[in-house]
Each structure stands twice: as C-alpha cells, then as structure tokens.
Chains A and B, each alone.
Chain A
C-alpha cells in the first residue's frame, strides 16, 4: 500500500504536468513508490500507481520492465551499484567488483543473507573522471581503493545496527 505521505508527494508531482497528461508523472511516481517500499516494486504497487495515474496496469509494467532503475525483486538495505563501463574498467572496475564479491561473499546480482547488501554491476554513471566508483542507494563513492571500500562497508554496517 502506498502511504498517505507518499500520496501527497505523488499529488505534487502530478501537478507538474498538464491536467490531461497525468501519465507523464509515471517515472517520478515510481521512484517515490519504490523508495518507500525499501527499493523495489511489487505488482500490487504497480497496479495502485496505475489507478492513481488513471492508466492501465500494463502501461506501468511495460515502463517498469524497460528502465533499469526499477527493481521487481527485493534488494538489500544498501544497493551497491558498481560502474562497469570502459572509463571505470580502465581504472580497475573489474578488480573493484571482485573485491566486493570477496568481501561480501556474494556474486553480482545477489543479496547477502542478512539482507544488508545487494551487489549489481551497472553501466556508466557519469563519474568517469573519478574512477573507479560505485553508487550505494542515492550516494556516489568515487576514486575508490581497498581501504576506502573497507571503510564504507564498515560504516554502513554500523549505521544499520
């Protein structure tokens, strides 16, 4: 269920588009709903979004399945997305991924058993001058090395306690 707080936010978002173009708010609204649901969307939520925007559920599903930022499966509390595209790869992104896999004990696309971390490889995040880098939830972590990664993971573990 979408909360009343989120519904208020959705109302403000819808008001940014012409009255007969509610569908335009779909991408931003899905961000709001996904954020509130700990980083993923369910079929029930997508249907609810369809009702709010007065479009068919199919029009929501087809958008959710097209854009990579919408998750249809639960993700960990911290979703680690490592940029794998060339500028980062030239600066050791492959090694960064292996290091994270080793540290977390999971492969790409997987979530740790304590549901704290999900690890994903993603394409270019527009941070090529500060490679290698990763995004965790909303934040960018740049110019990474092993020490920095250790520290970041430790801080997040502490924060989650």
Chain B
C-alpha cells in the first residue's frame, strides 16, 4: 500500500529541511488552497474525506472545524496538540522530527479554513529535539514566505509558535492544554462551552492532533473522495500505529484503517519476541481496555475495536507475552494514572491512588478476595463522574484485566504471591547485559 504520512521520510536522503520537502512537492497544496479554494469549500472537503481526530477521541475533523463561528474579524486560534503522552504512543514525535513541514503546511491550510491567524504547537516539554526541529522549520517556512504577513501574496497572515509543556499527561486533554497554554495548571475545563466557542483566551479555538493536521495537505492535493476511499466505513484514511512491547520489530507503522491486529503484530511487527505466546494486547494506549489472543482478528478501525469492547484511542498497540503478569502490568499503569491525575475532581484524585494501593497489595501477596469487589465498586464510582475522560481512562486497565485475567488476581490472593518471579523474568527479556 502506498504510504501517505510516512512517504517522504521513507525515501532515501530525505531530511527535515525545507529543501527536501519542496523537492517532494511540499507547499503546493498550500499554493493551491490560497489560489483556488474558499475556506468553506475546504471544510467541506475535509468533511468529505471522513478524517477523524488521531489523538484518541476520533472526532470528525471537518465537523470540528465547522463549529467555529464565521463572524468576520473575530480572533480565532488553532492549537496543534503535540503533547503526545498516552503510554505506548510515539508516532507524533516521529512526524515532527522527520517531516516537520508536512505538519506546518497542514497547520497553515487549517488556519486558512477556520480563519485563524495565530497557531500554537503545544509540545511535550521533554521533546527538546523535536522542538528544535520545529523551530528551525518555522523559520525556514517564514523565509520562503509561507508564514508571516500576506503569505504568497494572498492577503492571508499567519504565525505559528511552538510552546513547550512541562511534563503533565493531562495537558493532552484539549481544555487542559488550553489552560496550560494560558500559563496555568493543566486542569480540564467543564464542557460546554466547547473550545469552538470558548477556547484559548476565551476565543473560538480548534485543537487538532499532529497526525490529524499532517493529513491535511494530502487531502487538499488528492481530494476528500480519494481519502475517503482508503480505509473502511467511517474509519477512513491510514493511521500510524505505534507498536511496542514483546514484538520482534517495534516501531511506527502506517496502515490503512481496517487491517487486523494480527497483520500489525505478526506481519509488520515480525511476531512475538523470542517466539513466545501472545497473552495480551493493549489496543489503543494505556486508557484502552486490554485485548487477548482472541481479538487478533479484530479490525483496526474505530468501530470494530469499540464493538469488541475497547477503543482504538491513540493508535498505541502494546503487546505482552505469556510470561507477563497481568496484575504487575496493571499495577504499573495504575502508578502512571495515580501520578498523572490533575487533582481537580475528587473521584479521580482520590480514586486513582486508592486503586493503585489495592492492586499493589494484591501483586505483593497481601490482597483479599473482597478486594476484587472493592476494585469494581471503586471503578464504578470514578468512571463518568469526572470533568474529563481521565476517569474512564484510569479504570480501563483494571476493568480489562479483571474481565480477562481474573484468575491471575485470584491466584495472587490465594497463593499470597505473584506467580512470576520478577528477577528470573527480567533475566529473559529486554535490557540485555
């Protein structure tokens, strides 16, 4: 299949420099947009493409854009969500480091569509290298007249700035991102009002993920119908899947939506590390309920994964082999969620450390059978009772593993120990001497 997002960077000698991008036909979509396409037509084109947000929620991008008020002279903003923090996800980093101009061109076109003249790339603070690549790319684009005042003599002004976060997972949530961009603690806002009406500084704002925006120049070049023709049903186009864990060839893979987990893990990822048996798959980042071997033929599309009881989320697929203790794996993720809860809503702030403590005692052979009921009860009192989706996210690892691996929890409680001896286990995988 022909690559879209990874096409440029896969060709030999390709660099993040603007010369490489121009040689590959870059910024022609922008020229075409400014000459031939009206903002409304652009929104229609993206709607027609069926493109859905690649950050996790999968909301239709064109529809999101159409919510922005058309009022002239009203200040509007575009924010690129580059706060890639969902455990298992590392695709946006690759897009930014290897092909920054693809993102920048996508952002300029998107700004034109919604009538924004200022855009911010909110990037994870840890990604210092990607920040430098983007800053360099922005200055190159400015020197060529693609950014700044009256770009390409179109009368359209546009500035893009990179804004570094500082290590808070919650800032990937769009309203927490806005708070953080305003210089505050990253605490999600209650919705409504939605950012399309009340966003950055209270102005209409669109927040789109790096991968989402990187698709825009291609949709402009080839048309909405072309994009809608790739993929399956309501899951159109390709997607970048970040494959990690116990596989032979971890990495980012671009595949059309609608392939199977089996194809991703065994054909592209080379199969299981050390040819062990597969035990569990996290299909869409830490916030997605776990899958098992039975789900290998589930299709990689939003609806199919949801129908099977989980979510495609951020496209992060983490694979675990037969020797992985699922209670230990859950404990690891609960540490993450307890650490990352922003503290705004009581059920999440208090619930996450509580869940962590219970799983901790089970893993360390000090659990009681009643703990399983207590976990389920707690999860029920967190999910859906918080301002943002973090509540649902933090209970997912527990609900999923109890559903499919209840016997492992029971073993820990009954035998008062973890069946997998950690030091022996660690001797067989990873971090070789």
Question: Which A positions have Cβ atoms within 8 angstroms of B?
Answer: 16, 18, 21, 23-28, 30-31, 53, 55, 59, 62-63, 66-70, 84-87, 89-96, 99, 122-132, 135, 138-140, 144-147
Contacts and interface: CB of A to CB of B under 8 A. Distances in A.
Contact of A125 (B126, B165, B432): B126
B286 interface: yes
B431 A92 contact: yes
Contact of A86 (B85, B88, B128): B88
Contacts of B339: 123
Contact of A69 (B85, B167, B181, B185): B167
A99 B86 CA distance: 27
23 contacts: A16-B161, A21-B201, A23-B183, A28-B164, A62-B184, A67-B168, A68-B166, A86-B333, A92-B431, A94-B422, A95-B431, A99-B431, A123-B340, A124-B86, A124-B336, A126-B93, A126-B124, A128-B245, A129-B90, A131-B244, A131-B250, A138-B129, A146-B432
Given A21-B201, A86-B318, A95-B431, A63 B333 contact: no
A123 B166 contact: no
Interface string B331-347: 01101100110100000
Contacts of B335: 84
B193 interface: no
Interface string B140-178: 000000000000000000000101111111000000000
B125 A27 contact: yes
B433 interface: yes
Contact of A67 (B93, B166, B316): B166
Contacts of A59: 183-184
B264 interface: no
A27 B166 contact: yes
Contacts of A85: 87, 286, 332-333, 336
Contacts of A66: 168, 185-186, 342
A69 B88 CA distance: 20
A138 to B, nearest CB: 4
Contacts of B333: 85-86
A144 B320 contact: no
B275 interface: no
A63 B166 CA distance: 10
Given A23-B183, A27-B125, A129 B242 contact: yes
Interface of B: 84-90, 92-93, 124-129, 161, 163-169, 180-186, 201, 242-246, 250-252, 282, 286, 316, 318, 320, 324, 329, 332-333, 335-336, 339-340, 342, 422, 426, 429-433
Given A86-B87, A90-B245, A145-B432, A67 B332 contact: no
B431 A128 contact: no
Contacts of B126: 69, 125-126, 135
A90 B320 contact: yes
A108 B92 CA distance: 29
B165 to A, nearest CB: 6
A82 to B, nearest CB: 11
Contacts of A135: 126
Contacts of A96: 431
Contacts of A28: 163-164
A126 B318 contact: no
A145 B429 CA distance: 11
Given A24-B183, A86-B88, A124-B88, 17 more contacts: A21-B182, A24-B181, A28-B163, A55-B183, A63-B184, A66-B186, A67-B167, A85-B286, A86-B332, A86-B336, A87-B244, A91-B245, A122-B167, A127-B90, A129-B242, A129-B251, A145-B433
